[in-house]
Chains A and B, each alone.
Chain A
Amino acid sequence: MRTVLVVDDEFGTVEVLVAALEDAGYRVLTAANGRRALERLEENKPDLVVSDFMMPLMDGAALVEAIRSNPQFRDIPVIMMSAAPETALRKQVDGYEAFLRKPFRVPALLELIASLLNPPRSSSPR
C-alpha cells in the first residue's frame, strides 16, 4: 500500500483529503505544518507528499527545500497546493513536481498522484 503525507494547516482540507485518499486505497499520514511534516518523514517515509503552501511555523517552500536537501527524502515527489496562483509561488519555491490551485476537484488530485507514483513506460514502482 502506497503512503501519502498530507500537509495542511486547515483541518477541513486535511479531513477531506484523508477520506478521499483512503477510499482510493492509500495509507495517509498528516501534518499541520512543514515542521510537523519533517517529523513525520523521519518516522515514516511516504511515497508522496501533498503540501499546502501557506502554513504556520514552516511553509511549503521551506518544506520542499528541506526534502530536496536531504538525500534520504530527495526522491519523494511533492505536489504543492495553494489558494494563491502558482506564478506567485514560483518566486519563492522550486523543486515540486506538480501544482494544484485550490479549490480543486479530488479526482484531479487522485489522477495526479497516480501519474506521479506510476509514471508511464515504467513497469516498476518508484
Chain B
Amino acid sequence: MTGNGDQLKLERVPTGITGLDRILRGGLLRGGVYIIEGVPGTGKTILANQICFSHVAAGGHGAFVTLLAESHTRMLQHLQPMSFYHEEAIPDRLYYVSGFRILESEGLKGIVDLLRREITGHQASLLVLDGFATTEESASSPREFKKFVHELQSHAAALECTVLLLTNGSACGVSPEYTMVDGVIRLEDTLFEQRTERTLQVAKFRGSDFLDGRHPFRITNQGLEIFPRIETAFAVPTVRDVYFPRRQSTGVPTLDAILGGGLLAQTSNGLYGPTGIGKTTLGLQYVAQSEPAEPGAFFGFFESPERLRARAETLGIDLRALEQRGAVEVIWYPQGEHILDELGHRMIEAVRRRGVKRLFVDGYGALVESATNPERMTRFISTLGNELRALKATVIMSMESRNVLGTATELPDKGLSSLLEGLILMRYTELDGRIRRLVSVTKIRDSAFDPGLREFAITPHGIEIGAAIHGMEAVLSGFAREPKAVTPDSRAQGKHRED
C-alpha cells in the first residue's frame, strides 16, 4: 500500500535558463499558469521561445499560440541568430499557430477550445499564449474574462501542461488575472542616466519560495542571460565554509614577513593605493605563486591580457607559461557598461570552475562603476566575499585612492574596511625632492603584524621592500620630513604657543 505523497508533490519544469531556474528554485511547476509581463521590447517573446526550445530539447513538446502579435514567420526569423533556436524542432516538437481568427469568430470560448486541442493534439507539456491582453479586450465582461482564465487553469492542471501568458500587462498587478494565476514574472528596462539595465522580477509564485527582488539580465545571441542578484543568490554560501587557518605567500617575501607569515588563506584583502604605485605589480607577483594544483586567477578590467603578460615579463614573470600550465587564468572585462551581478557571477564561476585559491581583482573601482545602485556595494562585496571564501579562495582586491599625494586615506566605501580581513596600504610620499613609495599593513584580522611604514621599489625582480622608516615624520601626509632638531629657541617657541 502506498500513500499519495508523490501525487501531491508538484513536479518542476525547468526553464532551461540557469539564472531563472535558480531564482525559481528549480523552475516552473507542471500544470501551472504564469503571466510573463513587460512593456514591448523587454524580451517576453524571446524568453518564452527560449523556454520552449529548451523544453523540447529536453524531450518535451510545446505549442506557441499568438493573438495579434508578431507573425510566426517574422518571429522565427528574429530567433534564427539565437543559439537556442533549432529549426528541426519545428513543427514536430514545437508548433506555432495563430488563434486570432478563432478569437474573432468564436470569442474566448473558441480560444479555450483551441488551446485545449493544441495541448492534446501536440501532446504539449508547455504552451505559450502570446498577446494575452487581447483576450481581456475581447471579453464582454470582467466575469467572462475571469471564467476564461479559470477554464484555462483547469485545463492546464488536468492536462499537466505548463502555460505562459505573455502580456504588456500593468505594473500594478491588481487585475483579476494576477490574483488567479500561479505566478507573475515581470520584465523591465530601466534607464539610469545614459544607460539602461534590464531586470526580471518574480512578483508572485505559488507553491515555492523564490529569490525576490529585481535580477538583472542581458539579451545576447544566447537569449536571456539572467544574473540573480548576488546578495540574494549567495545570501548563504553554496558550500559549507570549512576554514583551517593557514598562511599564503603574497609573492613578496618581505611583505609576507610584515604580515606575520603571509596573508591568511581564505580571506578577503584590500590593496589600497594611488594610481601607478604598484598594486597590479603586487597582484601579478601574487598570482604568479599559483600552481596547477593550487590555481590562481587575475580578474581585471584595465589591462588587456597581452599588456599584462608584457608587464609581467618586465618583472621576470612568464605569465603565458603559467597560463599554459593551467596555473593562472587571466580574465579581462574591458571597462564598458557591465552589470555588477554579472561580474560577481563570472568571478564566482571562474573560482569554482578551476578551484582557484588565489584571486586578484583589479579592481574595486570598476565594480563600483558597473553598479546602477552604488549603495549596494558593501552588501555586494560582503556576500561575494563570503562565497569566494567558502570556495576556499583567498582574494586580494585593488582599490584606488583618489589622491596621488595628500592626507586622504579613507577607503572608497563606508563599511568596506570591516568586510576585509586584511588591508595593505601603499602610499607616495615626497622627501628630499623625490617621490618615494611606501607600504604598510594596517589590518590583519585576529593576527599580529608589523605596522611599520617601509619604503619599497619596483625592480626587474618585482617589488622589493626596504627596512622600516625611522626618524621621519608626517610621512602619511604625503610630504615626509625629518623631525626638526630640538633647540632652546624652538622650546621657547613651543612654550610660547602653549601659553
Chain A neighbourhood of B71, CB < 8 A: 10, 12-13
**Interface residues of chain B: helix, strand, loop or mixed (majority):** helix
Chain B neighbourhood of A9, CB < 8 A: 97-101
Q: List 26 A-B contacts (CB under 8 A).
A: A9-B97, A9-B98, A9-B99, A9-B101, A10-B71, A10-B98, A13-B73, A32-B102, A53-B91, A54-B90, A54-B91, A55-B97, A56-B65, A56-B97, A56-B98, A56-B99, A56-B117, A57-B117, A82-B91, A83-B77, A83-B90, A84-B90, A88-B92, A92-B92, A103-B74, A103-B77
Q: Is A20 an interface residue (CB 8 A)?
A: no
Chain B neighbourhood of A13, CB < 8 A: 71, 73
Of all A-B residue pairs in the complex, the 5 with the closest CB atoms, nearest first, are A102-B73, A32-B101, A84-B90, A9-B98, A83-B73
Please provide the chain A residues from 78 to 113 with a CB less than 8 Å away from any CB of chain B in the complex: 82-85, 87-89, 91-92, 102-103
Bound CA–CA A57/B116 (angstroms): 11
Q: Mark B114-134, 1 if CB is under 8 A from A, else 0.
A: 100110000000000000000
Contact B114 A56 (CB under 8 A): yes
Contact B101 A83 (CB under 8 A): no
Bound CA–CA A12/B98 (angstroms): 10
Q: Is B95 an interface residue (CB 8 A)?
A: yes
Q: Which residue of chain A has the shortest Cβ distance to B115 in the bound complex?
A: A56
Q: Mark B82-104, 1 if CB is under 8 A from A, else 0.
A: 00000110111001111111100
Q: Which of A83, A85, A88, A91 meets B96, CB within 8 Å?
A: A83
Chain A neighbourhood of B91, CB < 8 A: 53-54, 59, 82, 84, 88-89, 92
Q: Which residue of chain A has the shortest Cβ distance to B75 in the bound complex?
A: A83
Give the interface size class of chain A: 20 to 34
Q: Which of A85, A87, A91, A103 meets B73, CB within 8 Å?
A: A103
**Interface residues of chain A: helix, strand, loop or mixed (majority):** loop
Q: Mark A47-74, 1 if CB is under 8 A from B, else 0.
A: 0000001111101000000000000000
Q: Is B72 an interface residue (CB 8 A)?
A: yes
Chain A neighbourhood of B95, CB < 8 A: 54
Min CB gap B108→A, angstroms: 15
Q: Mark A1-40, 1 if CB is under 8 A from B, else 0.
A: 0000000011111000000000000000000100000000
Having A88-B87, A92-B91, one finds 7 other A-B pairs with CB under 8 Å, namely A56-B98, A56-B102, A56-B117, A56-B118, A83-B77, A89-B91, A102-B72
Bound CA–CA A90/B180 (angstroms): 42
Bound CA–CA A105/B87 (angstroms): 21
Q: Is B343 an interface residue (CB 8 A)?
A: no
Contact B72 A83 (CB under 8 A): yes
Q: Which residue of chain B has the shortest Cβ distance to A61 in the bound complex?
A: B91
Q: Is B476 an interface residue (CB 8 A)?
A: no
Chain A neighbourhood of B73, CB < 8 A: 10, 13, 83, 102-103
Contact A84 B87 (CB under 8 A): yes
Bound CA–CA A103/B87 (angstroms): 14
Q: Is B465 an interface residue (CB 8 A)?
A: no
B-contacting residues of A (Cβ < 8 Å)?
Answer: 9-13, 32, 53-57, 59, 82-85, 87-89, 91-92, 102-103
Specify which of B65, B71, B98 lies most central, judged by the most chain A CB atoms within 10 Å of its CB.
Answer: B98
Q: Which residue of chain B has the shortest Cβ distance to A30 in the bound complex?
A: B101
Please provide the chain B residues from 284 to 299 with a CB less than 8 Å away from any CB of chain A in the complex: none
Bound CA–CA A92/B91 (angstroms): 9
Chain A neighbourhood of B72, CB < 8 A: 10, 54, 83, 102
Given known A-B contacts A102-B73, A103-B74, A88 and B90 have beta carbons under 8 A apart: yes
Q: Which of B77, B87, B105 meets A85, CB within 8 Å?
A: B87
Chain B neighbourhood of A53, CB < 8 A: 91
Q: Is B76 an interface residue (CB 8 A)?
A: yes
Specify which of A10, A13, A57 lies most central, judged by the most chain B CB atoms within 10 Å of its CB.
Answer: A10
Q: Which of A11, A87, A102, A103 meets B100, CB within 8 Å?
A: A11
Chain B neighbourhood of A55, CB < 8 A: 97
Min CB gap A108→B, angstroms: 14
Given known A-B contacts A13-B71, A88-B92, A83 and B76 have beta carbons under 8 A apart: yes
Bound CA–CA A58/B432 (angstroms): 92
Bound CA–CA A9/B74 (angstroms): 14
Chain B neighbourhood of A102, CB < 8 A: 72-73
Given known A-B contacts A10-B72, A83-B96, A102-B73, A57 and B114 have beta carbons under 8 A apart: yes
Bound CA–CA A89/B200 (angstroms): 37
Min CB gap A64→B, angstroms: 14
Chain B neighbourhood of A12, CB < 8 A: 71
Chain A neighbourhood of B102, CB < 8 A: 32, 56
Bound CA–CA A88/B76 (angstroms): 15
Bound CA–CA A97/B90 (angstroms): 21
Q: Mark B446-480, 1 if CB is under 8 A from A, else 0.
A: 00000000000000000000000000000000000
Chain A neighbourhood of B88, CB < 8 A: 85, 87-88
Min CB gap B242→A, angstroms: 52
Min CB gap B263→A, angstroms: 58
Bound CA–CA A35/B456 (angstroms): 86
